[in-house]
Structure 1
Amino acid sequence: MILADKITEERKKNGWSQEELAAKLGVSRQAVSKWESAGSIPDLQKVIQLATLFDVTTDYLLKDDMVSKTSVPTVYDETEKGGTLRRVSMEEANEFLKLRKKGAPIVANATALCIVSPVLIVILGALSEEPRFHISEGLAVGLGGTVLFAMIAAAVFMFITYGIKASHSEHLERDGFETEYGVTGMVKEKNRTYEGTYTRGIAVGVVLCIIAVVPMIIVGSMRAPDYICAIFVGVLLVLIAVGVDLIIRVSMVKGSYDTLLQEGEYTLEEKKIQRKMRAFSGAYWCLATAIYLGWSFWTMRWDFTWILWPVAGVLFAAASSVARAVVKTED
């Protein structure tokens, strides 16, 4: 832990704001803010004052490899064997951020492909029931099914290629670590700069997912023909795909900052829980996929069985909450 992080941690432990700490030291709030973001380093006199205020030694503040007494249990708990934590250099941190930034559109587009993959088969299936369109059921299933599996295959290819590249940095999301001097400050600054983009992306994505159902409500109230309803199901899926695409793009970039700062879903405690939850998540989605494929091939109602996915998503959120509660109770 670097000096900037120790100042932030000790200030919060004492329940002081940056303004209150600045007043005690006789400096400006901006000075304290720069110290905590690693934008500047306090002089020796201020370090001595900080040590006195925080009731710690100057060695603890100045030596990155020294941890406070209250921090030791967390480190041993995370490493599980009492070993030292891995140190992340500035170069490794920048490489990780770069990988996530490039990977965000890949994962987002792959997910969007999965969502829109049944659109054609849904529309063609409905049109085949209308004699005036001269589309046979075989053509609808054949062409629609081909496009569906082609899109899913492309999405899987994108997931795998990105996953292989990202696997080299999985330890950052899975295990505890320490950052070398300057890394935390750099990441905090990038995180602060990206906050506006993240907020807009999440807001627009969520709004698109909400308004996606509006066309279906309108069509349903008008008692439109089945093929019109099918077309608007396609519109619904496209709007959801765009919304989810936006959410994933900004969330992956924001997640890379949280990973290096070990905040949000990437705190040491959260990582322990996630390690125990991986088996549950994998089994759940494999089971959902098996049910979807089995149900779809058995009934050949690809225009209807897609509804399993939103239901599975909602159930997963509920099941995950229960599983997390059980894991926390066991700990």
Structure 2
Amino acid sequence: MMRGWIIVILAEKIMELRKKNGWSQEELAFQMDVSRQSVSKWESGASIPDLERILKLSQLFGVSTDYLLKEELEDLPAVSPEVPDCENGIKRITMEAAGEFMENKIKASKQVAGAVSACILSPVVLIYLGALAEYKENVISEGMAGSVGVIVLLLIVGLSTVFFILNGMKMERFKDMEKEGFRLEYGVEAIIRKKMAEYEGINRIYTVTGVFLCIISVCPLLIASSLDASEFIQTICLEALFVIVAAAVYLLVLAGEKKSCFQILLQEGDYTEAKKMEKKKTERIPAVYWCIVTAVYLGISFFTQDWGRTWIIWPCAAVLYGAVWGIAGALKHQ
């Protein structure tokens, strides 16, 4: 009901501002780079402009997004009103800030998902070259295979780490949204929920596909074992498992990052004010845990030189992580 009222008020304000500037619907449509029918729908309340066009409308009319989206009619300001960044000590998030955050977060989600998948694929070259050296000695020596494989692994992990660091630096200015409470300006929540609804369908597909790929990832190995294939063929099947898991993780991380984008702004799910206070006490656990897992994986792998089997550390660590997080939560509430 409230969202419908916001659409009606927005429609009336767009019409009022257009007439005040002496523009026809065609002229406004030309300046907004949309059709006249779109402007007509905005003014009738049949549709609502998307986030980018609301920002453009505020700039074109010389008013703030707060004025456009406020849930009440009021006299048209002569100039854009100044909106305080904080109110009663609580930070206020403007439409511009919310739009910038969503744009950067959604764009970064692909980079984060790609970097995570790359880390999963990092041992693939090493495993393949090791198998090639063992079963086709005239192609490459074991020493060369190990050296090249390790170099490729370290390069992939290193580049992925650079992506994580750069992404973290880029999103640093938005960290307060994840850690501190805030209030959205009038009307901003309705726009965010509209944007979230646009992503909901594709995110559901990503999640279902990712889970499905995780389930079937062991199929290549099972098929190779049932056919009594050679160890080299089994190694190729292991490579296929890595590729399938990497694809699954890419989709799951992408869906999770996009979902978290909207949850952060709406302060829902894992980003309610209560959850934010809890996270402050345990925020270093993931970094410490995965650093230890990485060190254990590399240490055991280099010591045993059995890269074809030590990969099992990662799925075990992922399962154990849930237990570690649960224990940390239980201890925290004692």
Q: So what's the TM-score if we normalise by structure 2?
A: 0.73
Deviations 1:110-132 (CA, angstroms, capped at 9, x unpaired): 11110111011111112222146
Deviations 1:213-245 (CA, angstroms, capped at 9, x unpaired): 111111122222111111111110011111111
Alignment of 1:152 with 2:157, yes or no, is yes
Alignment of 1:212 with 2:217, yes or no, is yes
Deviations 1:177-200 (CA, angstroms, capped at 9, x unpaired): 111111111101111121101101
- Structure 1 residue 134, shift from structure 2 partner: 3.3
Residue 183 of structure 2 is matched in structure 1 by 178
Name which of 29, 34, 54 aligns with 2:4. 34
Deviations 1:129-168 (CA, angstroms, capped at 9, x unpaired): 2146533111210111111111111111111111100111
Aligned partner letter, 2:294? T
Give the number of equivalent residue pairs: 260
Residue 198 of structure 1 is matched in structure 2 by 203
Other structure's SS at 2:134 match: coil
In 2: Cα distance, 1:205 partner to 1:272 partner: 31
- Structure 1 residue 297, shift from structure 2 partner: 2.1
Residue 105 of structure 1 is matched in structure 2 by 110
Q: Is the 8 A contact 2:3 2:190 kept in 1?
A: no
Q: Is the 8 A contact 1:127 1:133 kept in 2?
A: no
Structure 2: runs of 5 or more not aligned? 11-70, 73-87
Other structure's SS at 1:129 match: helix
- Structure 1 residue 281, shift from structure 2 partner: 2.0
In 2: Cα distance, 1:200 partner to 1:281 partner: 27
- Structure 1 residue 32, shift from structure 2 partner: 5.0
- Structure 1 residue 288, shift from structure 2 partner: 1.2
In 2: Cα distance, 1:255 partner to 1:39 partner: 26
Other structure's SS at 1:223 match: coil
Aligned partner letter, 1:34? G
In 2: Cα distance, 1:33 partner to 1:98 partner: 23
In 2: Cα distance, 1:131 partner to 1:256 partner: 49
Q: How does 1:297-308 map to 2 (within 5 A)?
A: 297-308=302-313
Residue 242 of structure 1 is matched in structure 2 by 247
- Structure 1 residue 325, shift from structure 2 partner: 2.4
Q: Is the 8 A contact 1:128 1:136 kept in 2?
A: yes
Residue 310 of structure 1 is matched in structure 2 by 315
Q: How does 1:38-77 map to 2 (within 5 A)?
A: 38-40=6-8
Other structure's SS at 1:128 match: helix
In 1: Cα distance, 2:185 partner to 2:264 partner: 15
Aligned partner letter, 1:136? S
Q: After the TM superposition, which parts of structure 1 deviate over 4 Å for at least 4 consecutive aligned residues?
A: none
Aligned partner letter, 1:39? I
* Structure showing greater relative contact order (alpha-carbon pairs closer than 8 Å, 6 or more residues apart): 1
CA RMSD of aligned residues (A): 2.1
- Structure 1 residue 249, shift from structure 2 partner: 1.6
Alignment of 1:280 with 2:250, yes or no, is no
Name which of 139, 144, 161 aligns with 1:139. 144
Q: Is the 8 A contact 2:98 2:265 kept in 1?
A: yes
